């Protein structure tokens, strides 16, 4: 499989994602610069975390207008698996490829720590290999990670099974104290209606090797690989 990892000015997790895909999972990786206008030949794409364009205007707002996003829209329409992590999630919402928005954390403070998330949806390529209700421990690091959408949209996302992960405690219980940023309905990740585009605030690439303290994040990439292989 050939994975594309897109980098914008200010991305800082693109090499981490490429490392996991290339050295941990043995995949071919093409690092894609934001000015590129074609994504042919790729089997899946990752928009990594970071601070694209310094988070000016709003996090992800300027990157959402970059040349590569036209090709990304077309790839999303073709059903290509696309994973946006942290700033990548913000870019996908700003581009309209995912519903809702990411606002400043309720505390207005940067949060950087491990959290637990409960698997709500297993129909995406990145979660097909997980169990419904499976709890993962993943790190977060963001200032603008509070997911918000109008109440009718939130109800529609739940009804259409587009909520992919919720923040929870280690036992899988959704509690206010387990929500690191005040996200509506403790939402940590959502997908598009087709399920091939997923955005999430936690960083699975930072929990893909035992030396990092958790391998829970690796399961998302492995799930996508099995999905791409038709398993």
Return the active site residues.
86, 203, 205
Closest CA to 91 of 30, 36, 47, 54: 47
CA dihedral sign, ordered 95, 96, 99, 104:
positive
User: Residue 227's CB: how many other CB atoms inside 10 A?
Assistant: 18
Summary count for the chain: helices (H), strands (E): 5, 11
Q: Give the burial string for 30-68 (b: 16+ CB within 10 Å, else e).
A: eebebeeeebeebbbbbbbbbbbbebeebbbbbbbebeb
Tell me how long the chain is.
231
Beta bridge partners of 115: 138
Q: Identify the H or E element spanning 74.
A: helix 68-77
The number of angstroms, rounded, from the C-alpha of 136 to the middle of its chain's C-alpha atoms is 14
CA dihedral sign, ordered 178, 152, 148, 162:
positive
């Amino acid at each position: 499989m050939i994975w594309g990892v897109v980098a914008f000015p200010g991305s800082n997790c693109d090499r981490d994602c490429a490392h996991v895909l290339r050295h941990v999972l043995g995949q071919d990786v093409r690092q894609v610069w934001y000015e590129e206008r074609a994504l042919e030949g790729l089997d899946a794409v990752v928009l990594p975390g970071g601070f694209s364009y310094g988070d000016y205007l709003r996090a992800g707002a300027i990157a959402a207008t970059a040349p590569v996003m036209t090709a990304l829209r077309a790839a999303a329409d073709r059903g290509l698996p696309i994973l946006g992590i942290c700033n990548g999630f913000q870019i996908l919402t700003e581009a309209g490829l995912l519903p809702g928005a990411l606002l400043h954390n309720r505390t207005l403070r940067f949060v950087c720590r491990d959290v637990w998330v409960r698997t709500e949806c297993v129909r995406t390529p990145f979660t097909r290999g997980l169990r419904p209700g499976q709890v993962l421990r993943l790190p977060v690091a963001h200032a603008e990670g509070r997911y918000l959408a109008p109440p009718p949209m939130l109800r529609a996302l739940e009804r259409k099974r587009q909520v992919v992960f919720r923040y929870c405690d280690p036992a899988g219980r959704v509690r206010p104290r387990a929500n690191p940023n005040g996200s509506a309905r403790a939402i940590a990740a959502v997908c598009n209606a087709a399920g091939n585009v997923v955005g999430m605030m936690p960083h699975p690439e930072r929990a893909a090797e035992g030396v990092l303290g958790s391998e829970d994040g690796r399961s998302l990439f492995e799930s996508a690989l099995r999905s791409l292989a038709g398993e």
